[in-house]
Structures are given as C-alpha cells and as structure tokens.
Structure 1
Amino acid sequence: MQIVTKSLFKLHLVVFIYGFTAILGKLITLDAIQLVWYRMLIAFLALGVLLQMRGRKLSVDRKTVVQLIGIGFVVAFHWITFFHAIKISTISVALGCLASTTLFTSLLEPALVRRPLVWIEVVTGVLIIAGLYMIFQFEPDYITGIITALISAFLAGLFTVLNKVMIARHRPLVISFYEMGGGFAGITLYMLFSGTFEAGLQLPVWSDWLFLLLLGVVCTAYAFAESVKVMDVLSAYTVVLTINLEPIYGILLAFVFFGESELMSGGFYLGTLTILAAVFLFPVLNRKFIKKRKAPKMPRD
C-alpha cells in the first residue's frame, strides 16, 4: 500500500510538472520554434545521459530509426504549435483546447490501427465538440490561438497513436531519445533553409537558460522517465485519469503566476469543463461497458 501511495504521489508530481510546462513556455522570451529547438536538444542530451547511466542499448534497426525520426518531427510540430498558441493567446486557451487530444486520438486510432470505432468514443467526441463550440463562441478575440492549439491537439493525438505501435516493440526511453533527436534535426533543417541562422539566432538571456534547462531536463526527460516507472505499480486506468488533470493544474498555475491576464469568460470555463468531463468520463465508461482489449506488452525502462 505504501508503494502505491508513493507512486501516486510521484504521478501527481509528474502531472504537476507537465502543467508547469505551459508556464515556462510563456516565461521564455524565445519564439516558439527556437524554444522547441533548445528544448529538444537539451532533452535529447539528458535522455542520452540517462540511458547511459542505466546501461541501455540504443541499437534499433534502420527502418525503426527512420520511423522514430518521423514521429519526432510530429512531436516537434506539436510543441511548436502549442507554445505558439500560448504566446498569441493565453495558457488557459492553449490548455483548454489541448484537452481535446482525446477526441483526435479516438478518431485517428481506428483509421491508423484499423480497429472499429466504439460508441463511447462517439459520445465523448460529441461532448468535446460541444465544449470547443462554447470556447469558440465566448472567446472570439483568441480565435487564432484556439485554432493553433487545436492543430497542436491533433498532432498530439497523431503521435500518441503512432507511439502506441512503437512502444509495444521498443523501450520507451529509447523511443523518446530518437524522437527528440529527430525533432531537433528537423527543426535545424527548417532553420537552415528558412535563413534563421543567417539572420542571426536569438540567444537566450540568462533566465531563459534556467527555464530551458527546467523544460528540457525536468519537464521532459525526468517527467517522462518517472511516468514510465510508476506504470510498474499503478494501473493504466489510474495513470490515464491522473494525467487528465494536467490542464487543471496548468490553468490554476497560470492564474497564480500571471493573475488577471489569464482570467477568461464564464463561457470559456464552461466549455473547458465540458471537455474535461468528457475526457474523465471516457476511461470510466470504457472500463465499465467495453470489453478490455489486450494491451500491448510494453518494455520497461
């Protein structure tokens, strides 16, 4: 029981850290592309050190490396759109819309993994769409930020489905190592061809370096490694329900750090609560009414 309680505490700490990611994104003065470029580089190096400390081998076949690099591009674009949404709107808007990742995952998984769509996904999908409609209606000033955050949510759903296939065959930390490297390489190529380096790379100020290290090491490498570790003790159901608290932690933290600038209309919060209710309802209904599908055996780190 003590081990379970300790693991639950660690999981909530990880979710709190994930929620703090949005705060760091707003505090860092770099634009979204360069912010993610530094984040992926730092996370790539931190994961490399962690894998070496654990004595893990990085050897995977060439086809898998190419696939992981491709998924890394998707992760990079997801983070870029997420942080850009924060910078052009608010943290609350970005996190509220990002909660719709469940909707996109439920639509993409049947198409990519070729499994049937179940009625629970349709019900929760309708609720999420209703919540998004409320956000659109009550926050017209942030329409660009809302659309950008929804693109980010779609990309999060996409790489979640793709990673579900990869994680059945390879260790999670190894997957993340190659994805961080692939995403960093992809952004580097973009900046080369777009003339970013020629125009002059924006150098982080001293506070940016501190926030970037927190973002890359604590919020990415450590948080991911810890989230994988607690899955040895806690059920997938508990993990999924707890991770759904991320937008709540993030929105509360945003209000603590940035005060009234993060206050939104009542309609926004109603829409966000509708989305979160659907997100929490999904695993509950899925567990109660749908037969358990055999989960892929996941290698542990």
Structure 2
Amino acid sequence: MNKRHALVSLNIAAFFFGLSGILGKVITTSPAAIVFGRALFAVLALSLLMLGVRGFRWQRISGGSALVVIGASAILAGHWLTFFISVKASGVAIATLGFASFPAFTTLFESIGFRERISLNEILLIVLICLGLMMVCPSFDISSGSTRGFLWGILSGALLALLIICNRITAISIRPVQAALCQNAVICLLMLPFAFHALPQASAGDWFYLVLLGVFCTGVAHSLMVTSLRFVKARAAAVFFALEPVYAILFAWALFGERPTPGMFAGAAVIIFSVTAFSRHDKKAPSPSERQA
C-alpha cells in the first residue's frame, strides 16, 4: 500500500463506519450489548482473515505495546458506547455529526503527543469543519434530547481522537489486523459484564445486524483504518473521516426518511470542501513511513 491507496482505503472505511449509526438505530438491545456484539463478530471476522492469509505469523507484542493496545481497547469501547447512546438519544444524523468534531481533538492531541507543529492550513481546515458542524446542529438547548445526544456524540469524537493517536503508535510495531483483533478481544472482555443480561433478550434480527456491524463496519473498516495510518498522519485520517457523517445522513434519509435540513446540507457541503482541500494539501507532506526512511 502507498499513500494514494491509503486515502482510498480511508474512504472505504468511512463508508462502512457511516453505516454504524444506521445499524445502531435498528438494533433494539442496549448500547452495551451492541458494543459487545460488535466486538465479538469483529474478532471472528478478523480471526478468519488471519487464518486465510498465507504465511501470516502472529507477531510478538512487547509489554509496552500490550499496554497501549489495552488502553486503546478501553478507549474504543468508550467511543462506541457513547456513540450508540447518542444514536438512541438523538438519532443517526445528530449523533454522527456530533462525533464528527473529532478532527479538532485529533489535531490538538497529536500536536501535543508527537510535538508536531500545526500548520495554518490545518487550522483553517479544522475551523471549516467545525463551522460545518455548527451549521447542522438543530439546537443548543441542554434540555433537548437532540442536544444531549449531540454532546454524547462530541464525547465520542474526543475518544475517537485518542484512539487514532494510539493506533498511530501501534501501527509502527504491530501488524494492523493483529492490533484490531487484540483490541476487539479486549473489548469483549470489558463489556461482557455490562451486556450479559441484555444478550438473551436480543432478537434474531438484532443478531443479524450485529453480524453486519461486527464484520463490515468493524473488522473490515477498522483494518483499513489502522493499515492506512502506516502511510498518512493521524490528523489526515481524522479530517478525511469527516465524510462519515455525510454518508450517515444519506443512509438515514434513504432508510428512515430523516430528511436533512437546509443547515445539514450546507454543513455537509462545507465538510466535503474541507476534506477535498486537505487531501490536496496533504500530498505535499511526508507520511510517517516516509519520514522514517
């Protein structure tokens, strides 16, 4: 994979991640059970993928890397949990647009963690994305369910930014598929005590949607995201994933009749413009692998 392929992979991953909110809405069980089921079927899918890859060998993980993986797993579980709480509280579009604020968090966390200077162009693009998100927010009344869901979504975005930073660290020393498998296995263990009582009440339809959520929206999408972080900076991935709410809004409109407001249309246009502009600018910047060469 090269940098161009990494950007394509990020777009495909964003498409699958955009389906997560749709599936989270149609699944009737609790958010904790959704997170557990998502991780469980992701583990199964990734295990089959590893067995099907010729010559794949399990890579030894150092103690330091293992701690990062465990920490990333807890962060990912929190990200999923807060996101599905947001979906249940405010709907697919608002929840997805709330956590889409994560590019700003990612740029801040990455600049602090890796001591990387934030360029003026990156600041401008992040501001444009934040402006787009403000345009789609229906209300800033804390008593409104939509507003509370929006805030849960923002918290989910902050956790996603931390996850991207952790994945950038592990991508250097751990194979992407192996890292994803380990993270989802840890999530299963973390969430089982909270999901145990809700799982027997899940319907056959719930289990079917959990399979889709775990295999495509998690196993495939997560592997593509982690692999891409070998070739692009985390902040590049974060801004590119701003397309995810656009996909989610379109899916919600087509499947549930959640017609976007004019503000949502305008905000989505700003987000798409920002992603396109950043993609052109980032071609001039060296990737992590290029800087190591």
- TM-score category of the 2 structures, normalised to the smaller one: 0.7 to 0.9
Worse-matched range after superposition: 262-271 or 210-219: 262-271
Worse-matched range after superposition: 239-248 or 34-43: 239-248
1:295 alignment counterpart: 288
> Are residues 27 and 41 of structure 1, via their aligned partners in 2, closer, same or farther at CA, if it must alter by over 3 Å?
same
2:177 alignment counterpart: 173
Q: Distance in 2 between matches of 1:271 and 1:119?
A: 22
Q: Distance in 2 between matches of 1:203 and 1:89?
A: 24
Among residues 202, 205, 209, which one is paired with 2:203 in the alignment?
205
Q: What are the superposed Cα offsets for residues 243-290 of structure 1, whole Å, 9 maximum, x if unpaired?
A: 55332222111111101xx224322432343344333332323435xx
2:216 alignment counterpart: 218
Q: Which runs of 5+ in 1 are unaligned?
A: 1-5
2:51 alignment counterpart: 52
C-alpha displacement of 1:154: 1.0
- Residue aligned with 1:45, SS: helix
Aligned sequence identity (%): 29
Could you state the TM-score of these two structures normalised by the residue count of structure 2? 0.82
C-alpha displacement of 1:89: 0.8
Among residues 257, 279, 282, which one is paired with 1:283 in the alignment?
279
> Are residues 258 and 113 of structure 1, via their aligned partners in 2, closer, same or farther at CA, if it must alter by over 3 Å?
same
1:157 alignment counterpart: 161
> Are residues 29 and 157 of structure 1, via their aligned partners in 2, closer, same or farther at CA, if it must alter by over 3 Å?
same
Q: Distance in 2 between matches of 1:128 and 1:227?
A: 20
Q: Distance in 1 between matches of 2:110 and 2:12?
A: 29
- The 8 Å contact of residues 135 and 267 in structure 1, kept in 2 or not, is answered as yes
1:256 alignment counterpart: 254
1:81 alignment counterpart: 82
Paired residue type of 1:124: L
Paired residue type of 2:221: A
2:73 alignment counterpart: 72
Q: CA RMSD in A?
A: 3.2
Q: Which runs of 5+ in 2 are unaligned?
A: none
Q: What are the superposed Cα offsets for residues 164-186 of structure 1, whole Å, 9 maximum, x if unpaired?
A: 11101111011111111222222
- Paired residues, what number? 280
Could you state the TM-score of these two structures normalised by the residue count of structure 1? 0.80
Q: What are the superposed Cα offsets for residues 173-221 of structure 1, whole Å, 9 maximum, x if unpaired?
A: 11111111222222235x2xxxx65x66553100011111111122222
